[in-house]
Structure 1
Amino acid sequence: MGNLTRRKPNETMRLIVTTFVGVVFGFFVGVSFPTLSTKVNLPSSLFPTIDISYIKYKESGIRNAWSSVNNNNDSRSTQAQKLNDTSKILVPSNPRGAERLPPGIVEAESDFYLRRLWGKPSEDLTSKPRYLVTFTVGYEQRKNIDAAVKKFSGNFTILLFHYDGRTTEWDEFEWSKRAIHVSIRKQTKWWYAKRFLHPDIVAPYDYIFIWDEDLGVEHFNAEEYIKLVRKHGLEISQPGLEPSRGLTWKMTKRRGDREVHKETDEKPGWCTDPRMPPCAAFVEIMAPVFSRDAWRCVWHMIQNDLVHGWGLDFALRKCVDPAHEKIGVVDSQWIVHQTVPSLGNQGETQNGKAPWQGVRERCRKEWTMFQSRMTKAEHTYFKDMGIDPSNSTVN
């Protein structure tokens, strides 16, 4: 009977293994559900070999490990999403249209500096002209322009707008090979200026000369002119005009007793305010000179369809403040207006009228249209601001 009740060795081993597996399984169930341990109070004597603090430590390690893995996965996912996201760069302060570019690559401005097709870009320019002078020209006035260009030093970039389509012939002059030539037939200088002298294009230049082709410059020196403009704080200016030649406003006639003047006495009734055009804050459109900042404003005021620019000279004052102090005429550097009717000859005969008559009529119409637009725009602005236009100081 004793032999019958004795367990076989393999059954004893199976019992030990089963017990061990059960204990291990119970241990991991307890770790997986830690909240149960806080609800069931068992005597510690039942588990004499188990260190509760060790269990908690391992539990914390497992959790931290899973948290680290999840965080790394999330980080990698976010980075991958950013790399695939075309809007990952957004810089509102960048120029319009360039908000998605990193600021370090943005070139918001340009220039007229000529570049080589070889060598290092950093070695292209031996100097950078600080001023820009433009002439709107026809080949018939080449001798006059040649004389004028020679009054401007290497500190000036020369830009010619050709209204007659003839450009290569100008290569007879050495300076022409270094000049910028833009050719579109039968257009005016304000048409060219609006399309080719954007403020961000001419930004490298301290002053911009926008001149006609029929100006005598025997008594003019560009470098000396710049010195006087700086000295007297002029943002918009022109050289004085020889008073005995051609029709001109009294304000723009040269005075022989001073360097610069900023006001004058016109005919009775012509000036409602002595600080307003044409008694002050006024230059004509034949030979104006603009500072970089003043030109940025004036460019925006030029109308695309009013190509002659008549009336613009009366509105230039709106671009500087105080205008009666920052707009003036340089008397000691003066020019002669030769009044060559070259632009009028670019017109066409219509209704029996000569070409120049049609051009002149349009000039007058544009003056009226520009004044009307400016008045309407100002009144609309003041009305939107809740201000009575009749009480405003704008005239």
Structure 2
Amino acid sequence: MRLTVAAFSGTILGFFLGILFPTLSLTKINLQSSLFPSIGLAYVEDKYSEFSTKSIRDALTSLAGNRRSKSNGFDTLDNTKIWVPTNPRGAERLPAGIVKSKSDFYLRRLWGLPQKDPSFKPKYLVTFTVGYDQKDNINAAVKKFSENFTIMLFHYDGRVSEWDRFKWSKRAIHISARKQTKWWYAKRFLNPHIVAPYDYIFIWDEDLGTKHFDAEEYLKLVRKYDLEISQPGLDPSSSYNWQMTKKKEHGEVHKDAKERDGWCSSAQLPPCAAFVEIMAPVFSRDAWRCVWHMIQNDLIHGWGLDFALRKCVKTPHKKIGVVDTQWVLHQSVPTLGNQGQADGKRAPWEGVRERCHKEWAMFQERMANAEREYFQEMEIFPFNFSIDI
């Protein structure tokens, strides 16, 4: 009877062990104080070639660790949470050492070890929103930016591969979405966590003549005059709207200008000061972090944004300026307007221009409402409250 019971029990035990380890051939195991949870595997032979011995050993070691956690009253897989409140939102469950909250546009190799990738990293970023018809102008402009710049092209016409005719294009970043503006691209692809490695970010139009411009020399003056937001002066022969952005003949940088009567409510407010236009702005890393959050997701033309940029800089009448000794020619090529849609008897550009004006009014209203709500919440009642944008 005893032999029968022992044999039966052994058969049942062997059956359950077979279910637990159906794919592993355990050639040798070392038992420590107990069978579970302290299994030490000296060698595991894998029945399937796609799994390495080390991988299975690591998996079983992890399994043993989880069982030890359960024996101490914790269920590592289900209940225990790594909670690090200083981690970025959404990553609180991760151990802090594995969190990488920032990225970049540095190109990586498909081979070799990551730590052996080329160590040179550009310090600045320049973006152009382009159509292929402006290829010669962009080719000339890119040559004004040294290897210290990452080059990024936003393609609104879908023609990307044709740019391979230029040698520099092979190291550029290309992003294509048809009939979109640079502010649409900027909101979606220039997140502050992505562009964090760059000291300055240039967000430029495609119709700028750069004969009298050198990017490295430009940034020397930006640093010299401690500008957080800037632009090169506009050649006097350019099409321009504001005296502030027109190139001055004397001096390296100017931060204010005499505008037409009644156009400025204060000498320290746009467009007489603290003002650059949206055609060729240059942002410091810190300024862009603020501006990116201010860009509205659905307002893609950016009209009115230039009047509000000052809100992202302390003492804006000192930190926003125009560099006169490095200037550009605004050629006013209406390429993006031609990407519009004809409506009845109206040309494509007319609908585009109409939306520009509507977005400006919408942005102004949103900013005014947001500031008004903030003041009310804080129980602050500025005398004769108004917003200048």
TM-score (norm 2): 0.80
**Aligned partners of 1:90 and 1:394: how far apart in 2?**
42
**Aligned partners of 1:390 and 1:377: how far apart in 2?**
17
> Shift of the alpha carbon at 1:391?
4.9
Q: Residue 292 in 1 paired to residue 285 in 2?
A: yes
The residue number in structure 2 matching 1:57 is none
Pair 298,87 (structure 1): closer, same or farther in 2 beyond 3 Å: farther
Amino acid at match of 1:380: E
Q: 330, 333, 338: which one pairs with 1:340?
A: 333
> Shift of the alpha carbon at 1:215?
0.2
Amino acid at match of 2:236: P
Pair 394,346 (structure 1): closer, same or farther in 2 beyond 3 Å: closer
Amino acid at match of 2:210: V
Q: Residue 323 in 1 paired to residue 316 in 2?
A: yes
> Shift of the alpha carbon at 1:245?
1.8
| Correspondence list, 1:190-339, <5 A | 190-339=183-332
Q: Residue 117 in 1 paired to residue 110 in 2?
A: yes
**Aligned partners of 1:86 and 1:174: how far apart in 2?**
55
Amino acid at match of 1:309: G
Pair 267,168 (structure 1): closer, same or farther in 2 beyond 3 Å: same
Amino acid at match of 1:206: D
**Aligned partners of 2:168 and 2:92: how far apart in 1?**
41
**Per-residue Cα deviation, 1:104-132 (whole angstroms, up to 9, x for no partner):** 11000000000000011112123000000
Equivalent residues, number: 321
Question: Unpaired runs of 5+ in structure 1?
Answer: 1-74
Question: Unpaired runs of 5+ in structure 2?
Answer: 1-67
Q: Is the 8 Å Cα contact of residues 239 and 287 (structure 1) preserved in structure 2? A: yes
> Shift of the alpha carbon at 1:248?
2.5
Task: Report SS of the residue matched to 1:109.
Answer: coil
The residue number in structure 2 matching 1:368 is 361
Pair 212,83 (structure 1): closer, same or farther in 2 beyond 3 Å: same
The residue number in structure 2 matching 1:189 is 182
Q: Residue 91 in 1 paired to residue 91 in 2?
A: no
**Per-residue Cα deviation, 1:222-246 (whole angstroms, up to 9, x for no partner):** 0001111011000000000012221
Task: Report SS of the residue matched to 2:329.
Answer: strand
Amino acid at match of 2:265: T
> Shift of the alpha carbon at 1:79?
3.6
> Shift of the alpha carbon at 1:352?
1.3
Pair 78,292 (structure 1): closer, same or farther in 2 beyond 3 Å: farther
The residue number in structure 1 matching 2:163 is 170
**Aligned partners of 2:251 and 2:222: how far apart in 1?**
13
Runs of 4+ in 1 over 4 A off after TM superposition: 75-78, 391-394
**Per-residue Cα deviation, 1:262-317 (whole angstroms, up to 9, x for no partner):** 00110111111100000000000000000001001000010111110000000000
Structure with more helix by fraction: 1
**Aligned partners of 2:385 and 2:310: how far apart in 1?**
16
Task: Report SS of the residue matched to 2:174.
Answer: strand
TM-score (norm 1): 0.79
Q: Is the 8 Å Cα contact of residues 348 and 354 (structure 1) preserved in structure 2? A: yes
The residue number in structure 2 matching 1:38 is none
Q: Residue 155 in 1 paired to residue 148 in 2?
A: yes
Which one is further off, 246-255 or 153-162?
A: 246-255
Q: 98, 107, 120: which one pairs with 1:105?
A: 98
Task: Report SS of the residue matched to 1:83.
Answer: coil
**Aligned partners of 2:137 and 2:232: how far apart in 1?**
17
Structure with more strand by fraction: 2
Q: Is the 8 Å Cα contact of residues 234 and 240 (structure 2) preserved in structure 1? A: no
Cα-Cα RMSD: 1.5
**Aligned partners of 2:120 and 2:386: how far apart in 1?**
46
> Shift of the alpha carbon at 1:351?
2.8
- Of all paired residues, the percent bearing the same amino acid is 69
The residue number in structure 1 matching 2:4 is none
**Aligned partners of 2:347 and 2:387: how far apart in 1?**
39
> Shift of the alpha carbon at 1:327?
0.4
Task: Report SS of the residue matched to 2:110.
Answer: coil
**Per-residue Cα deviation, 1:25-47 (whole angstroms, up to 9, x for no partner):** xxxxxxxxxxxxxxxxxxxxxxx
**Aligned partners of 1:247 and 1:228: how far apart in 2?**
23
The residue number in structure 2 matching 1:59 is none
> Shift of the alpha carbon at 1:88?
2.9
Pair 186,77 (structure 1): closer, same or farther in 2 beyond 3 Å: closer
Task: Report SS of the residue matched to 2:107.
Answer: coil
**Aligned partners of 2:153 and 2:144: how far apart in 1?**
15
> Shift of the alpha carbon at 1:148?
0.3
Q: Residue 141 in 1 paired to residue 134 in 2?
A: yes
* Bigger Rg over Cα: 1
**Aligned partners of 1:77 and 1:335: how far apart in 2?**
68
